[in-house]
Amino acid sequence: MKEWIEYKNSICNKGNLYRLKQVLKMAEANAPITVAFLGGSITQGSLATTDENCYAHRVFSWWEETFPDGDFTYVNAGIGGTTSHFGAARVDHDVLAYEPDVVFVEFSVNDESNPHFLETYEGLVRHIWNAPSAPAVILISNVYYHNGGNAQLIHEQVARQYELPLVSMQSAIYPAVREGHIANRDITPDDLHPNDMGHMLVASVITYFLDHVLEEVLIGELPPFAGGELPAPLTANTYEAAQRLDNRNSNPTLCGFVVDTTKQHQVRECFCNGWLASKNDAVFAMEVEGSGIALQYRRYKDGHAPKAYVRLDGEDAGVLDGNFDETWGDKLELTTVLEHGTYGKHRLEVVIDGAEAEGVPFSLVSVIVAK
C-alpha cells in the first residue's frame, strides 16, 4: 500500500525546524527525551488491536529504533471525542506536566472549520509553544476517508502563523483512497478511525517527515521569531490561558449535587472528578471569572439521563441533554454558554430536570473558563 502514499505531499507546512532539530541532536547524544501526543480518539488508539499498534506508539517506536541507546518516555494524552477546546484546558495537566521535548497535536477530525476552533486551536498551540520545556510542536492532520473532510484549512493557518510543521493524511493517504488505489475498508472500518493497517500508514507518513528532518539535522536553522516572542495572534486568543475547574480545584455551591469520588487512573478515564445529580431541581452554582464559559458533561448511550438547564447571570443560557443517540459509547460533551462576553465575574447555575429513579445521574464533569 505504501507505494500509493503521497509522502512528499504530506508536509503541508514545513515550518521552522530549529526546535525539532535540537531535540534530534539531544537524542543522538542519548539525552533523556519525552515524546508526547495530544489529540482525540485516533491518538488514543481507537480501533487499533493493541495500544502498541496505534499510530502514536508506532511514531514513539521510531525514536527508540532510530536512537537505540537513547532514553525515551512516551506520553499519550489522546481522549476520544474531544476537541482542541478541551485540549487547551487540559494540556498543562495531561501533557506539559511531563516536561515534553516534542509534542504531536492531532485534532483535525474533531475540530470543525469555524472561527471558534481556529481560536481554541491557536490558544492550545501558543500555550504549548510557551511551555517551560520549550518543546518542538508538530501538527498532525487526520481525515475522514469517505470524503476527505477535516479542519486542516484552519489548522494550516495556525501552522503558517507560528512556523510549525503540519503533516497531513488528507494530502498523503486520502488521495490514494479517493482514486481507488487503496480500499477504504482495508484501512478503516468506519471511514474515520484507522485499523492496524491504517494506523501503520499514518505513522509511516509522520516518520517520513521525521526521517526527512533527521537527514537535514546538521543544516543550520535559526530560532523562530526575533526576540523569541510569538507573533500577534490571529484571533481574540481567549483560550491560551483556558482554565478547567472540577472538584479538585473548585468549591461550588451544591444543592442536590454530590461530588463524584470515582478515581481517575489514566487520562482516557475522562468522566471523573466532577459532580453528580439524580434529583429534579438539584442545583449547581459557581462564580467564575472570565469572558467565556463552557460546560463539560457526560452523555449516556444507555439509560434515561436527565437534562439540565443552564442559567448565566440570571438569564437562560442553554440546555444540556445527558442522553446520546449514538451506539459507540458515552460521550464527553462540551457546550459553550458564553464566548467573547464581558470579562469579569459571572454566576453560573445548572438545574436538573427529568431525573428518574431508574435512570442514570446527570454528570457535570467540569467547567472550562476562557480568559
Residue ranges of domains in the chain: 2-228, 243-370
Average pLDDT over residues 8-35: 97
Query: Which residue from 96, 230, 231, 106 is spatially nearest to 170, judged by alpha carbons?
Result: 106
Lowest mean pLDDT among 51-55, 238-242, 266-270: 266-270
What is the SS3 assignment for 201? helix
Which ranges of the chain does DSSP label H, i.e. alpha helix?
18-28, 41-44, 55-66, 84-94, 115-129, 152-161, 169-172, 174-178, 184-187, 196-215
Average pLDDT over residues 304-309: 92
Q: Which pTM value belongs to this model? A: 0.96
CB atoms within 10 A of CB 258: 13
* Residue positions counted in the chain: 371
Architecture of domain 2-228: 3-Layer(aba) Sandwich (3.40)
Half-sphere exposure of 262 (CA within 13 A, CB side): 14
pLDDT given at position 368: 98
Question: Are the CB atoms for 320 and 335 separated by under 8 Å?
Answer: yes
Question: Are the CB atoms for 11 and 44 separated by under 8 Å?
Answer: no
- Is the pLDDT confidence value at 1 over 90? no
CA–CA separation, 12 vs 156, rounded Å? Answer: 8
Residue 359 pLDDT grade (very low, low, confident, very high; cuts 50, 70, 90): confident
**Average pLDDT value for the chain:** 96
pLDDT given at position 25: 97
Lowest mean pLDDT among 122-136, 192-206, 237-251, 326-340: 326-340
What is the SS3 assignment for 96? helix
pLDDT > 70 in the chain, percent: 100
pLDDT given at position 226: 76
pLDDT > 90 in the chain, percent: 92
pLDDT given at position 215: 96
- Is the pLDDT confidence value at 328 over 80? no
CA–CA separation, 368 vs 288, rounded Å? Answer: 10
Average pLDDT over residues 329-354: 96
Question: Which H helix or E strand runs over 290?
Answer: strand 283-290
User: Which residues are paired to 34 by β-bridges?
Assistant: 73
* Topology of the domain comprising 243-370: Jelly Rolls (2.60.120)
Average pLDDT over residues 197-223: 95
CA–CA separation, 337 vs 319, rounded Å? Answer: 9
Question: Are the CB atoms for 286 and 313 separated by under 8 Å?
Answer: no
Cell output for 290: 472570565
Cα Rg, the chain, nearest whole Å: 21
- Is the pLDDT confidence value at 144 over 80? yes
